[in-house]
Amino acid sequence: MELAQRIFELAKGYQHYTAENLSRLVRHKSLSTKEKDCALELKKMMSEAGFDEVKTDGLGNVIGRIGSGSRVIAFDAHIDTVDVGDRANWHFGPFSGEIKDGFVYGRGCADQKGGAAALVTAGRIIKELGLSEGKTIYFTGSVMEEDCDGLCWKYIIEEDNIKPDFVVITEPTSLNIYRGQRGRVEIEVSFHGLSSHASAPERGINAVYMGAKAALKLELLNECLASDRFLGKGSLSVTEFISSSPSLCAVADYSRIHLDRRLTWGEDKQVALREVEELIKDMNAKAEVLSYKEKAYTGLEYGMEKYYPTWKLEEDHPLILTGKETFEELFNRNASIDKWTFSTNGVVINGLYGIPVLGFGPGDEAMAHAPDEKVPVEHLFKASAFYAYLCSKV
């Protein structure tokens, strides 16, 4: 408990340092595949904090290391963000990084550069107190997460050959401990009709009507999907509808819809695909799981299937129990255990590779992708304390 108090006081003393680091990161706009400037800033911070090694891998992930022991731990924060959206909905500069009234303001503060700033401070504390003995601790500023969840960690595991004993994801949890999330799969359904002059639509087969009928059936399917006591219900949403025809006075001969299918426990891409195929079996249509492949800011082209498996740890998993103990000794109150509504890099880390994942991060999940994004400075210093103290206990 004496160590917990010492770490807490150090983290609190560094709260302005952590907030300033976050402000520096926010001032660099860093959409997916365009994170270079932010990555350079984070590398500089890690070096300033005394990390043993700081590098950038082939995909552009920033990887800081402290220690060289046999116990391998990783803390992850993705540094890419979504765009601003309608600027009129913001009451301050989205990339101002302003620190005011106990908050840091700007795009990415919660989702999730706040986690990156907090882990830099945690690394500084770990170095100062010598908490890395017997451990290799990685701190990753990962890229392209907003475009393709987990792609960055697919590269870290398969290409960098870093395979931690467990990973702490620093996505926003309002300082609660998270142990899972629904997965998702992106499916495209294409419909092929027959064009005719629009003055005689009976001569053609309208692909727009085909897609519309399928969309209505899919709306009904969403109501009867499976549910899990912890993760909740699966969901399905049509998020895009596109059509084409020889002209605007011709029956459409092609349409396609894009589906965002959230997967609860027990569901996978095969289940989701079969459900869709059953609904379109009497149509001239095809359903397929999409793939992602884009160039990183490094110039490397890399990709994966857009299937992001569901994952969860049981509440009595040793990592979750250690996380609860860490929280309660630091903050002298009971820890709350919950889950993310959205998707994280855990889909690959745990969902594909089975590496245990604990979620703990500064900021409110509701701030993710929203205008007027902000994070409490108090969350930042408490998160850094949690990360440092957790390292001492594992």
Residue count of the chain, please give it.
394
Q: Considering Cα of 38, then 43, then 44, then 46, what sign does the dihedral take?
A: positive
165 as an active site residue: the answer is: no
Nearest CA to 385 among 102, 2, 15? Answer: 15
Residue 330 to residues 1, 8, 90, Cα–Cα distance (Å) = 8, 7, 35
From the candidates 80, 146, 186, 267, give the one annotated as an active-site residue: 80
Q: What is the largest CA-CA distance in the chain?
A: 83
80 classed as catalytic: yes
Contact 380, 19 (CB under 8 A): yes
> What number of H helices and E strands is found in the chain?
10, 21
Is residue 259 within 8 Å of residue 235, measured between CB atoms? no
Comparing CA positions, the residue from 386, 286, 379 lying closest to residue 18 is 379
- Active-site residue identified among 145, 146, 171, 373: 145
Q: Which of 34, 253, 22 is nearest to 144 (CA)?
A: 34
64 burial class (0-12, 13-18, 19+ CB within 10 angstroms)? buried
> Which positions are annotated as active-site residues?
80, 145
